[in-house]
Amino acid sequence: MRRRALGALLLALTVAVGACGDEPEPVVAPALVPEGLVPASVQGESLAFYETEAPGAVKAFADAGPDSLAADGRLWELRIGDRLIGVLQLTTLLPEVDLLDKDHRDTIVKQLLPTARDRLDIGDVAVWTSTSSGKTSFLWFGEGMFSLLTVKPGTDDAIEPEAVLQDVLDHMVAAEGWDYVYFDDEAEEA
């Protein structure tokens, strides 16, 4: 289902980007997801991230197909011991996707968070969030990429999804390979 949603998002972006001009753009090599953006653990080391090794998942996130605007994608599992409580997806985008273009950004937000969503700012990072069926999803952008964190703690857990997000963002913004994208929504609406 995630592969189908990513494919639909990328097809919509292909149509939107394709209609933006007639002059050919210079060819730029697609960016890989940088190393070191995901912490080994969060919440005082009580939760650990493990990069997904399942061959089907690795292939699906690394190559979404020829019509995809994703350059690269990787997936990490968030676990308490052996129990899966969340996932973190990092996806770099082809240069044709202009994240400063509100329409491009809104398309990604609506595809990945299809239910009611809110925007909050954590430091300098704009984060879109949505809660549904007991799970909370957070979406944010870096230069040429997006990150999607989904956390579904059990009813007996003292896990706060927002605290997990804060730990991930603290690590990510300090890491090499991740750059801010500043959105001036007021200027876009003028």
pLDDT, tens only, 33-64: 889 999 999 998 889 999 998 777 666 665 56
Residues 72-100, mean pLDDT to the nearest whole number: 91
Which range, 6-15, 25-34, 89-98, 179-188, is most confident? 89-98
Q: What per-residue confidence (pLDDT) applies to 142? A: 92
* pTM score over 0.95: no
Distance CA 12, CA 10 (A): 5
Backbone angles phi, psi at 46, to 5 degrees: -80, -20
* Average pLDDT value over all residues in the chain: 80
Q: What per-residue confidence (pLDDT) applies to 58? A: 62
CATH class of 2-17+28-189: alpha beta
Q: What per-residue confidence (pLDDT) applies to 126? A: 92
Q: From the centroid of its chain, how far is CA 42?
A: 18
Q: ∠ CA 166-8-31 to the nearest 5 degrees?
A: 60
Distance CA 8, CA 106 (A): 14
**In this model, does residue 143 exceed pLDDT 50?**
yes
Distance CA 149, CA 135 (A): 10
In this prediction, residue 4 has a pLDDT band, given cuts at 50, 70 and 90, of: very low
Bigger pLDDT: 153 vs 190: 153
Q: What per-residue confidence (pLDDT) applies to 59? A: 66
Distance CA 159, CA 166 (A): 12
**Residue 20 per-residue DSSP state:** S
**In this model, does residue 125 exceed pLDDT 80?**
yes
Residues 106-126, mean pLDDT to the nearest whole number: 89
Q: What per-residue confidence (pLDDT) applies to 166? A: 95
**In this model, does residue 158 exceed pLDDT 60?**
yes
